[in-house]
Structure 1
Amino acid sequence: MGRGKKDENKICLSAEQRHRLEDISRNGHAPAKKILHAQVLLMADEGEWATRHWTDEEIAAALNLHRNTVGRIRYRFLADGEQPALNRRVRATPPVAPVVDGHLEAQIIALCCSEAPEGRTRWTLELLTQQLKARQIVAQISRETVRRTFKKNKLRPWKVERFCIPERDLPRFVAQMEVVLDLYSSEHTADAPLVCMDEAAYQLQSDLYSPVEMEPGQDTKEGYHYQREGMQSLFMFFDPNRGWRRVSQRDSRTSIDWAEEVRQLLDVDYPDVPVVKLLSDNLNTYNIDSLYKAFPALEAHRLARRLILYHTPRNGSWLNGAETELSVLSRQCLDRRIASPAELKNELEAWQQERNQSAAKVIWKFTTDDARVKLKHLYPVFEAAT
C-alpha cells in the first residue's frame, strides 16, 4: 500500500503509482477534488522517486488547504490505498421519504384546479396551504413545498389566458380568412398597392403633479393620479410592402371620419394610383356606403371606383397588418401621458417620420396552405361520400 518500512506515517510511492498520479494531476479531465488529492499524495511522497520532502504544513500552504485535510488524505492512503485516497468517500445515508408523495401531489393538483372558495378570485399559495390543513388532507405542509409542487406540474392559478373561438360551425370564417391570406400572397404592383387600415382609441391624460426626472440611482417618478383630457381616435394606414404608414387623429371614428380618411388616402397619399386594395376589419362603417354618406354621389362614385375593399373575418383581427403597426406605435410612442391633441399630433408626426425613413415592412409568410394544416381544427369536417 506504499507504506514505508521504518515509519508507519511515511508515504512511499512506487514508480507505477507516481506515474499514475502525475497523469491524473496533469490531464485536466479528472474531477477537481481528485486532481487535488493526487497533488497532495505526490508532494507527500518520501520514496526513492521523490525530489523533495514536504511537510503537511507546507503542502497545506502550497495547495491552499487545511493541515487536517492533508492529514486525512495521508491517513486514507496508508489505511485504505490509492483509490480511496483519490476519490470522495461515499456516505451511507438512509433514504429520506419525500415530503409530497404521489397521492398527496394528486390531491394538491385537484384542489388547485377546483373552484376557489367563495369570496376569493383564485387560489394562492397561502390559501392553498391553509386549505390543505383545514380539510385535513395533510397535517403539516409549508408554503415552499406547495410552490415546488406548482412549479413541477406547471400550475399557475394567478395566470389567465383569454381566447376567442371563431364560429366553427360555419365556413364563413375560413372563407374570409383564405381570401385575406391569398391577398397577402398575391403580387402587388405600384399601380395597385395593398394598404392595411386599423383604428384605435387613445385617452389624453395630464399630470396633477410634475413628475420627478430620473437621476443616477433614482428612477423616474410620476403621480398616481392624473387628469383625463378627452379621447382621440387614431387611424392607421400601412403599406406592408412599401414600408410606408400614415397615422392620423380625430375626435371621433364615425363613418364620416372614415370616409374623409379614405379620401385623403386616395387623393393625397396615392393620387396617381388607379386602384388601392384596402384591407380593414369588419366594422360596419368600413364600406362604400360611408362614402355616399359623407360626399355627393359623383364624388363618392369617383372614390369608390378607385377602391377595392377587403375585410378580415370576425375574430380574425390578427390577419390585419395594420394591427401590428398600431402595436409598435403603442410601445414606442404612446406608452406615456400625453395631455393635449396638439401634443399628440406632434408626437405622432415625429414617430411616423422616423418610422417611414426606416421603411420598416412586414413580410407575411403565413399562407393558405399553412392555415389548412396549422388551423385544421377551424375548418368544417365533411364525411367521405359512400
Structure 2
Amino acid sequence: MAQIDVANMEGDIDYDTIMKEFGVEPFDRFLPQMKKSHLLFRRKIIFAHRGFGHILAAMHGKKPFAVVGGFNPSGNLHVGNKIFMDQLLFYQDMGGQVFIPISNDETYVFGKTDKLESATDCAMKTVIPNLIALGLDPKKTKIFISTKTSKAYELAVKLSAKTTFSSVKAIFGFDNQSNPGKIFYSVMQTAHILFPQLEEYGGPKPVVVSIGIDQDPYMRLARDLAEKIGFEKPSSTYNRFLIGLQGGKMSGSKPHTAIFLDDDEETVRKKIIGAFSGGGASLKEHREKGGNPDIDAACQYLKFGFEPDDKKLEEIFAGYRNGSVSTGDVKNLVIDRVTAFLKQHHNNVEKARKQVDKFLIAP
C-alpha cells in the first residue's frame, strides 16, 4: 500500500502518479453532473475523489449530508487554508452541515508546539475567529476543539478497538521511533471524520472531507472503520496544493512561502513582489518569448480564487504566455486583490471574536 509521510510532505508532487498509487479516481466526470460548481472544481484544482457520487446524490436529492474540514492550531491561517474554507462554504451553500475539528492534539504530538495549552489558546484566539470571519453560518456549523470534546474522544476509543497496530502501521508507516500520541491521533482524526454521523447529529449520513492528498491515510483508515460501527463510508475530495511564493510547497512554518491572513498591506506587497516568476529574465525577453503561468506564483494565486471570472483568467494566462501581460502586471493585480480581501477580513475577524460561542460544541 502506498504511503505518504503526512508530517513531512515536501517537494514537487506528481498528481497523476499519486492517483494511481493511492487508488483515488479523477474528479472530472462529475463536472457535467453538477448543477452548481465552484471555481475550484471547474479549474481542476480539485482533481480526485473517493466516493463523491454519494455526496452529489445527496445534494441533488436535497438529502442530509455533512462536510468535515479540520484545522491545525499551530499559528495563523494562510491563503492555502482559505482554499479549504472556500470548499466548506460551497457545501454549506448546497445544504451541507459543516463540522470543523480543531486538532490541538495533532499540533502537540507532532511537535508543532511545546505545550498543548498553547495550541488550545491559538485555536480560541486565532484560528476559530479567522474561520468564522470567512463566512460560516452559525446555524449550519459546528466547531470543536479535539481535546475539549468528550464525544470525539469516546468515538475514538470505540474506533481504536476496531483496528490493530499492524493496520495503522501499514497505512501511516509508523516505526519504533514514533511516539504513542501519533499512533492514537491516527484514530482520533478518524473520529473527527466520522463525528457528524453520531446520533446527536442525525446518525449515519453521507460525509465529505476536503483535504490535500497528504491526508489520505486518515481517509483510508476512516473508510475501513466506518462500517464496523454502523456508519457510512465517508467520501473525500483532493485538491492540488497552491504553490509557495518561492516555488515548491506552501508551508505555514515558512512565512516567506505564504500570505497569512493577518499580514498587513506592506508585508503582502513585499512578498508578492519577491515571489517566484514564470516570466522571462527581462521584460524584453518576456515580451518576445512569453512566460509560463503554471509555475508563476502570482498567476496561481489568481487561478486559486483571486480572479473569480473564468474567462478573465483565461485571458490573463493567454496574455502571459504570449508576453502581452507581464509579470509586473500580474503581481500588481494580485497585490490589489489580496490586500482588498485582507482589509475586509481583518474587520470581520474583530466581529467574529464576539461570536465564537455560537459555533462551539459544548465539551
Superposed pair shares fold, TM > 0.5: no
Larger Cα Rg: Structure 1 or Structure 2?
1
RCO comparison, higher one (Cα < 8 Å, 6+): 2
TM tier, shorter chain?
under 0.3
Task: Indicate the structure with greater helix content.
Answer: 2
Superposition TM-score, scaled by structure 1 size: 0.26
TM-score by length of 2: 0.28
